Amino acid sequence: MARLPQLLGSLARPALSSSIITTTTTTTAAAHTAAFSTSAALGVKTIRAAHIPSAFVPPYPYGERTLYKQSNKGLYGLARIRFGNHVASGRNPIKSRRTWKPNVHRKRMWSDALGAWIKVRMTIRVFRTIIKDGSLDNYLLKNKPRRIRELGPGGWKLRWLIMQTDAVRARWLQERTALGLPERSPEDQAAIDREAQDMVQIAVDYATPGPLSRVTRDLLKMRDEEGVWASEEFELGQAEEHEGVEVEGDYEKEYIGANDGVEAATETGASQGLAPTSPETPKPAQ
């Protein structure tokens, strides 16, 4: 019985020293730190095609679509909503109105020229065409009239934005040289490149979530002071160039007014029993 406390003391768990506890804690913390030591992935912008501003984009050649207006903000091709009847089978076929809507999905496509993702609504038919062409950039940059008509106003804005990038402009500059066209002066080329870069900066900043960056705000302020906007950039000619040239509207007004006078005189003569005469045909000699 006297040796029982000694045996129990030998079987008891030895206490850990403070140095061991400190070492263990440090090792555990180091292990946790090593697990999270990898660098975070760089963020890539996602451009929303529907938010690209129209103020800087040239007008779409075919105008806004008045039927199925949702197609103005995406890549719908030539698909439109269709209306018809559902006829029931049986002795008494009953017609009920129904609609067929295009198969539209929201896709996130990569653009090599912009180096960013583009989120846009598109039909499955357009999506298959993009896969066949190889990329979204190739689909947007085709120059056939049917492709331009398929783009719609939304695709037209995307096409313009990609055309302002450095990669596409460099490729077109090589084609211009290959065709033997005269080269621009270095000053003019630098001004055009700088303008294109500013347009890409403003459009991408508007089309991405979040507030406008300081660079974009400075560019917009500078353009406001200079008065450079799309309405002035894409105006066909200046007013002083057309001085002395008859405008179509004035000609129509004058022509319509002259015809109104001739018609009034003809009606008056007919009411008095006289034969109508043309002002351009000479009267026969008496």
pTM of the model: 0.63
pLDDT score, position 36: 53
Domain boundaries, the chain: 46-84+96-229
Give the whole-angstrom CA distance, residue 240 versus residue 282: 40
Question: Using CA atoms, how far apart are residues 223 and 219, in angstroms rounded to an integer?
Answer: 6
- Say what the pLDDT of residue 8 is: 47
Any idea what DSSP says for residue 75? B
d(CA 159, CA 108): 16
Q: Residues in the chain with pLDDT < 50? A: 4, 7-8, 11, 13-14, 16-32, 34, 230-260, 262, 270-271, 274-286
Q: What is the pLDDT of residue 2?
A: 54
The pLDDT, as a whole number, for residue 56 is 83
Q: In what order do the strands lie in the sheet with 104-111?
A: 46-48, 116-123, 104-111
First to last CA, the chain: 165
Which amino acid appears at position 163 of this protein? M
